[in-house]
Structure formats: C-alpha cells, structure tokens
Structure 1
Amino acid sequence: MSQNPNRRVRTRFAPSPTGYLHLGGARTALFSWAFAKHHDGDFILRIEDTDLERSTPEAVQAILDGVAWLDLTHDEGPFYQMQRMDRYREVIASLLESGQAYYCYSSPEEVQTMREVARARGLKPRYDGTWRPEPGKTLPAVPADRTPVVRFKTPVDGVTTWNDMVKGIISIANTELDDLVIARQDGTPTYNFCVVVDDWDMGITHVIRGDDHVNNTPRQINIMQALGAELPVYGHVPMILGPDGEKLSKRHGAVSVMDYERQGYLAEGMINYLARLGWSHGDDEIFDREQLIQWFDGSSLSRSASQWDPKKLNWVNAHYIQNADKAWLAQIIAPRISELGGDPGAFPLEEVVSLLKERSETLADLAQASMLFYGEPQTPDAQTLAKHVTDASRAALIAFLDQASECSWERASISALIKQILGTQGLKMPQLAIPLRLAVVGTTQTPAIDAVLEILGKKRVMQRLQTFLSE
C-alpha cells in the first residue's frame, strides 16, 4: 500500500455526537489540525451522526463549542453524514452491481448462532458467509418475510497491511475479518462504510485518530480498495490514562472540554497541555500554537499511552495566565467576578488582575482572589485579632491613619510611609502589615500590602481603619 506524496494534505476530525467533546477527542482534533496546518493543508470537520438513537443536537453543539473554544478553525464543514444518505446509497448500489457486496437474509439470531458455533470450535466468532455468492455455490431460498442487510464481500485470503504513522507496520489477515454489514435492514448505511465514502469523497490524505479504531482500519481499507479509492495514511494515537494508570473517566475529571473552560482554563493552556499528551518536541514544555504548527510534522508521536496530570495542566495554565495581557485578562475575568456578586467596575480591574495573576492557576482562582477587593471585608475572629493586634501594632495603625491623609497614595509613597512608621515605632514589617490587612480586608494574608492599599484607595482604607480602631 502506497500513498501519493504529492497530494495536498487534508485531515479531518469526525466525532460522533453522542455526548460531549471529551479530552481524547479534543486531542485528536488538535493533532489533525496541527498536522494539516504544518503542511499548509486543509482541516475538515465532519459530524458522524448516523447513530440516530444516541446522536443529539445538544451533543453536536457541544462539539462545535469545544472546537471553537480551542480555536481549531476548520477549512471545510461541518459536514453531516445524515445529509449524505443519497451518496451512500449510490455507492452501495455500485458495490452490489459489481459483485463486491451482496444481500444477506440471515436473521440476527442466526448470525449469533453462527458466532457461538465458531467460538465453541475455538474459531473467531464471525458470520459464516451463508449468503455470500461464490462460483458454483447454491444459495438458500430467499425467505419471503425477511428484509436483507447488505454485506461487503471481504477478501478471503491475503493480509491487509498499512504503515501506521504512529505504530509502524500493522498487518491483519483477511481471514480475521468477516463480511461487514454496510447497510442495515432499513437501508441506513453503517459507520465503517460511511467513513470510507466520506474520506474518499473529501480527499482525506491522513487520518489521525485514537487506537480504538485500529480494528476498523483493515475493514475500511478493503472497502476503499474495492472502490478504487486512493488510501489515506493512518495514524492511531494511544489513549489517555488517568493519574492512576486506569482508563480516563469522569472520576478523573474527564468531563466535557467546555467544563474546563467553565472551570477557568485558558484555551492556549489546554492546547499546550493536550499537545504534550502523546507528542513531544525535545524537552520543550511551553510553546504557543504557532510553534506547535511549525514543529508538528507527524513524527515524535508516542506509541505509549499518555497520563493525565491535573497538576501539570494547572502549571501550564498558570503560565499562560501569568503572561497574559492585563487588559485582555481583565475583560475575560469581569463576568466571573459578577457571578460571584462583585462589581468589576468598583476598582481598576487591570491593576487587580496584574497583582493577583501570579498566584492564580485558573481564571476561577483569579476571580475568587479578586473578591479580596470586590467582596465585603471578612470579619476576623477574636483569637486572630488577639494574636496580631497588640498595643504596639495598634499604636502603629493609629500613626498610619494620622499620616495617611498627607500621603500621595501611590504604591511607592505608601511603602515609604509604612517603613517610616516601622522605624519610628521600632517594629518589624509583620507587626504593622498583618494588622493593616486585618483592618482593611479582614485576612492575615494578601499580596504586598502597599499594592493592596493603593488599589483600595485612600478614602476606603481610612474609613475601614477608623471603624476598626473604634471597635
């Protein structure tokens, strides 16, 4: 099997809309997108919605939302398989006419019996070819009350081989494959058949997908060869495992990609982290999508399963938050502050996020930390007050309040005032900084106290100090 190296690279992401876009699907989309962009090719989005019982409009929208959030812009699509039924039926008719497919009248119960008999004999459980036409073979009488399925006539000898761009050479004997149903009794085509026709019609050159599809690949290759289609290059990436080494599931936080958006992860952080699950570029851990496109040539894909590491994701995401433009960060954090009951306009939000982003791993962290300014001051308990507000520190607070009115209220000036009072009163920084924190926000820990006081503003700080000292 060989591929034409001069074909324009065309990849696809083809999820089934039976649920949310999960992490494995998002990574498949990312790899397919990055590979196409690296080769100046096309990335196609296709919705494989032939499973009418499980496919839902909500799931379709969840997939579209997830791809849009990650900004994996498709060049064509989205295409929907349910809108291509006439094309599938046309190709099935051509296979029936050429003798490469046939009608099978075996009932599901009869097929199940065939498989049980084969299993009892130590053979692979499969359809036994009762209705497969062969030279000199007499077929059973067609049951009058039974609607047939259509089966593809799989080659009975030889092997199907492909050079997988992840796993290397894979060969599967055709005797391991039975005659695949390509159209159900009601005439609707099956998944493996629709995929082949779509990849053929859309000129897909490279198929990157999870290795749970490896067993589908020889079936799809055989159908493609029967159609005279040029074969794509296949690449099957291993699954993502949870931190405990088990299959990633909801208990590991394997929820919708959009849940990560709601939890406050940045798309760029998720892109960076997902790319490193099963692919590498030397020892590089942090890179933007332009670098990813430059490097992602299809090599360096791991043959081993990847392990989901929430701590690593948080570390990567924190990097992007800390390096984000403060105006952009303020814009996207404002709705989260509103949801927490704060008024984002009450304080200069750009300065708030600049002060707090170094301590934040997610936007949720940053919004919650911002409530230091946008929420009501906390009420410290008596034990905390007794521990930190001594006669000496109270005297220092009074001195600070007395002199604050003359302070220009810039961070440098506030810092100078604090140091002056410490020197005059013979105190160390915590003996004034912690009582100041308790007085104005009600907690013992904040970012640099001079920065906090600057953002709160002179009037508010003096009012809170006066109230605190009068109690």
Structure 2
Amino acid sequence: MFHVGGARSALYNWAVARQSGGTFVLRIEDTDAARNKPEWIEGIISALSAIGINDSDAAFEGPYFQSQNADRHREAGLQLFTSGRAYYCDCTREQVTERTGSQQLGYDGFCRDRGLAYEAGRAMRFRTPDEGETVVVDLIRGEPAFPNSAIEDFVIARGDGSPVFLIANVVDDLDEGITQVIRGEEHLSNTPKQQLLWEALGAKPPVWAHLPVIVNEKRQKLSKRRDKVALEDYLAEGYLSEAMVNYLMLLGWGPGGDQEILPYEELERLFRIEDVNGSSAFFDVKKLAAFNGEYIRALDPEAFAAACAPWLVAPYAPWKPEAFDQAVFETVAPLAQTRVAVLSEITPNVDFLFLDEPVFDATSWAKAMKGDAAEVLRDARTDLAAAPWNAGDLKAVLEAVGARHGLKLGKAQAPIRVAVTGRTIGLPLFESMELLGRDRVLARLDAATERLAAQ
C-alpha cells in the first residue's frame, strides 16, 4: 500500500519537476523478490495517478525497473574494484564481532589490504576514505558533515555477486540523469555513503532534500503497524483526492498567509523546497477531515451525488437494492452535503430513508427516550396524523407539541428524530419526514412508542 509519507514525497518531487521544466522519474526498486509483486506495482501507479501524477503529463517518466539494470550495477562494482575503491571480503559477521567485541561497531577493515580476488561467498566492500569528512549539501537541513572515520567499509555486492541497494540506487540515478533527490529524512544516514559512491564513480552528486518525518498525535513516527498510513485507505473511506493532495502538501510546508485550502495549481506555483521545515510534521486526521469537508461542500450537487455512489450499494449500504430510490437520494443529497466530512458518512446519514425500520443508535435512544418522551411521541403522532405534509407545517406541529409540554423545539423533536431516523444527529428532521411520507413516519412513531412501553 502507498504510504502517505511516500505520497507527500512524490507531490514535492512533482511540484519541483513541473516548476523547473524537469522530469519526475518513477523507478520501481524491485530487486528484492520477496517485496515485489505485480499488483503492488499497479497499486503504486494507481495511487500516484489518484493524486494527479501520471504518464499523461509530459513531466512524467517511467516506470523504470531497477532489476532491468542489474548488469550496469555489476559493472559499476567492478569499476570500483579495478580502481582500488572497493575490495573483496570473506569475513563472517561472527568473525567481525569476535575481533571487535561488539555487534554495534561495524566492520573493522580486516580485508582492506589482503588483496582478495572474487570467489563465491566473498562480498565486495567500498573503501571509505580514512580521513576527512563527507559534507551533504541539503536544501532543507543545510550542510551536515559526516566524519569518514565513522562510516564503515560498507558492502556494495553480496557474496553471490548481486549488488546491494546503495550502489544500485546510485547507478540508476546516474543512468536516468537524476539531478535532485527529494525523500524522507530516514534516508539521510545513507546519503554520505551514496555521495561517496557518486564521487568514486566520477560523477557530481545530485541536490539532496530530506523531508521531515511524519508523526501521529503522540509524536511517534507514523507506522503501518499502529496507524492508518495507506493513501488507498483514506481514498476508500471517502477522502477526496484533491483534499488529500492539499493536506499532504502542507505537511512540512506552508504557502504563507491565512489561506491553506488552495487548488493544487496554486500550491505548486507557491511551493519552494527550500522553505520546507525540518521539524517533524503532525498528521492530524481531524484537520484532514475538516479539509475534506470543505472540498465536499465546494462540489456542485450533481458531482456530490455522483461521488457518493460507491457508498450507496453493497457492501456499504444496509438496505435492499430495490429499496433504494435515486430520486429521493438526489433530493436529500444537498442536505447531507453540508453535514458529511468524508463520503462514507453518507450511508448512515440516509439509511433511514431506504430501510423498513431505522437502525437505532443505543446512545441516541437512551439520550432522547427519557422524561416525558412517551407523551411527546403520542401527542406528536396524533397531531401529525392530521397535519399538512410539508416541512414547514411539520415543524409548526412539533413546536406546538413542545409548547404544551414546556419544551423548546430542540427538546421536543429529539424523541421524534430518534423514532424516525434512529439517531439524535443527522439530516434536517422536517425535510426528512416530508420525504419519508406520512404513513412511514406514523408507523415509526407507533413502533417507538411500543418499544418504549416495553422497556
């Protein structure tokens, strides 16, 4: 699944590429067979397309597949070995630990000057400079320096000759003409090693920009084991892709001023990678929902009704297919549009219209059906039986019922609302009653009265 952090990184890369007349390169790093499945690749491409990044734009290039460049990865390793920048090593992890006395100290350089040739089982290691430091020029983090003495002679090819990610990544960047690498800060620790590889292969390193980590409300890094992190999950819940894009663009960067809800084109115009904040970015689900609600309310009624369609059928809809009435839904849709924050909320908002009986929310029932609720239900039932059936007259009836019981309209209508819709919160009551029709409303008032008496 496509992590929201990956989506944020992709959007920042996309903005920079389009601003500069450059190219966004999609590369699938598929050399780990256990983590490589065709459906996952399709998921990445589909998720990118959902946030507006796809091959219909001239700025898009790919996908390239790392596995298809394996020969070049091996060539680069042999080039480093021939030039003396890499060597073969036959040490086991246990031997290194025995010599250093710790699993934490890393490789001790034992094979540096042994002059070993390649044999099956011997890994290739990069010869890190003994002195000096590697300075990473980062558009967000300045120029962090890494002492070379603290960088072990790291493996660039395994004992079976297959290159590891570090060198494969560098070679692919070189071959694909990558000039800017914008990625999460968890990769910063790899950057001095990659930069050393770039330089050893005779190339100028790209411009780096390491984005702040995204955290949850407890300031913990978003984790797929603990948090909802997949872009697809949010889209499946009814978050609009435009709202997701807007919110993700603001995780670490802001356009300035008071306006945060802006179309992508404006966000792209204003975006500057140098202005991204290096501090961690809080993924606030409540704020995302508020953003989404704003985008939902900005839809025209027809577009909103169409966007709700997936949540009006199985497996989301609890009613029988033949009970659904599109005309009724389109009538009530504008009322629901002002009340839902995500599209999946449409189902519980309108289910009472298409079910034989409402689904009672236990908390709502307990809250509304107390005190003189039974008397209010009976009086309302009597008066509604003879009332003109339109929202205005229905409201007047319940105001009069409430007045007889010394209740304001809000208190008087609570048991009626729960009897009719099953909940204390939802669509406007009187418009809902008008749509349901007199017979269905009176039948629900009778059923609620009987249930209350039985309790």
| Distance apart, 1:288 and its partner CA | 2.1
| 2:260 matches 1:285 | yes
Report the counterpart of residue 259 of structure 1 in structure 2. Answer: 233
Q: Is 1:270 the counterpart of 2:254 in the alignment? A: no
Residues 380-414 of structure 1: per-residue CA shift (max 9 Å, x gap): 779838734537x756655544353xx6x6xxxx3
How far, CA to CA, are the matches of 1:466 and 1:159 in structure 2?
82
Partner SS, residue 338 of structure 2: helix
Tell me how far apart the structure 2 counterparts of residues 235 and 81 of structure 1 sit (CA, whole Å). Answer: 22
Could you tell me how far 1:290 is from its partner in structure 2? Answer: 1.3
Q: Where in structure 2 are the equivalents of 1:20-169 lying within 5 Å?
A: 20-73=1-54, 75-116=60-101, 125-132=106-113, 139=114, 147-169=121-143
> Aligned AA for 2:318?
G
Q: CA deviation at 1:73?
A: 2.5
1:337 has 2:321 as partner = no
CA distance in 1, matches of 2:80, 2:116: 22
Rounded Cα–Cα distance in structure 1 between residues aligned with 2:124 and 2:304: 56
Residue segments in structure 1 that go unaligned for 5+ positions in a row: 1-19, 133-138
Confirm or deny: 8 A CA contact 1:81 1:194 kept in the other structure: yes
Q: Cα offset for 1:236?
A: 0.9
CA displacement at 1:307 relative to structure 2 = 2.0
Please state if 1:246 is matched with 2:220.
yes
Q: Residue 297 of structure 1 is aligned with which of 255, 259, 272?
A: 272
| Alignment pair present for 1:307 and 2:282 | yes
Contact 1:103 1:149 in 2 (8 A): yes
CA distance in 2, matches of 1:426, 1:96: 92
CA 1:363–1:230 in structure 2 vs 1: closer, same or farther (change >3 Å)?
same
Deviations 1:227-271 (A, max 9, x none): 222321101112112211223224652332212222222222222
Q: Using the alignment, how far apart are the partners of 1:444 and 1:117 within structure 2?
A: 63
Letter of the 2:440 counterpart? R
RMSD: 3.3
Q: What CA distance in whole angstroms lies between the structure 2 residues aligned with 1:224 and 1:142?
A: 24
Identical positions, percent: 33
- Matches of 2:185 and 2:380 in 1, distance apart? 67
Aligned mates of 2:394, 2:215 — CA distance in 1: 55
Residue in structure 2 matched with residue 221 of structure 1 by the alignment:
195
Query: Structure 2 vs 1, CA of residues 378 and 278 (structure 1 numbering), >3 Å: closer, same or farther?
Result: same
Q: Deviations over 1:351-378 (max 9, x none)?
A: 3332112222212222221213233332
CA distance in 2, matches of 1:423, 1:355: 25
- 1:406-435: per-residue Cα shift (whole Å, max 9, x none)? x6x6xxxx3256448957997664587556
- State the Cα deviation string for residues 330-364 of structure 1 (Å, max 9, x = none): 22322212122334544443333321122222122
Query: Are 2:351 and 2:358, in contact at CA under 8 Å, matched by a contact in 1?
Result: no
Please tell me the residue identity of whatever aligns with 2:81: L
Deviation string, structure 1 residues 152-190 (Cα, Å, up to 9, x no partner): 233333322132111001111222223222111112111
Q: Which residue matches 2:184?
A: 210
- CA positional deviation for 1:115: 4.4
TM superposition shift of 1:84: 1.4
Q: 1:186 aligns with which of 160, 182, 187?
A: 160
Shift of 1:25: 1.9
Deviation sequence 1:201-252 (CA, Å, 0-9, x none):
1111111111111121111111111222232110111211221122322465
Tell me the secondary structure at the aligned position of residue 137 of structure 2. Answer: strand
SS in 2 for 1:255: coil
Check if 1:373 corresponds to 2:350. no
Q: Which residue of 2 aligns with 1:234?
A: 208
1:8-39 CA deviation, whole Å, 9 max, x = no partner? xxxxxxxxxxxx32222222222212222232
Please list, as runs of the form range in 1=range in 2, the aligned pairs for 1:358-397 lying within 5 A after superposition: 358-378=338-358, 384=369, 387-388=372-373, 390=375, 397=381
Looking at structure 2, the residues matched to 468 and 441 of structure 1 have their Cα atoms a distance apart, in angstroms, of 9
Task: Give the Cα–Cα distance (whole angstroms) in 2 for the partners of residues 109 and 447 of structure 1.
Answer: 68
TM-score (norm 2): 0.82
**Residues 4 and 231 in structure 2, CA contact (< 8 A), matched pair in contact too:** yes
1:150 is paired with a residue whose SS is strand
Secondary structure of the structure 1 residue equivalent to 2:73: helix
Bigger shift: 232-241 or 152-161? 152-161
TM-score norm. by structure 1 comes to 0.80
Over 3 Å counting, the alpha-carbon distance change for 1:247 and 1:115 in structure 2 is: farther
* Distance (Å, rounded) in 2 between the aligned partners of 1:450 and 1:429: 12
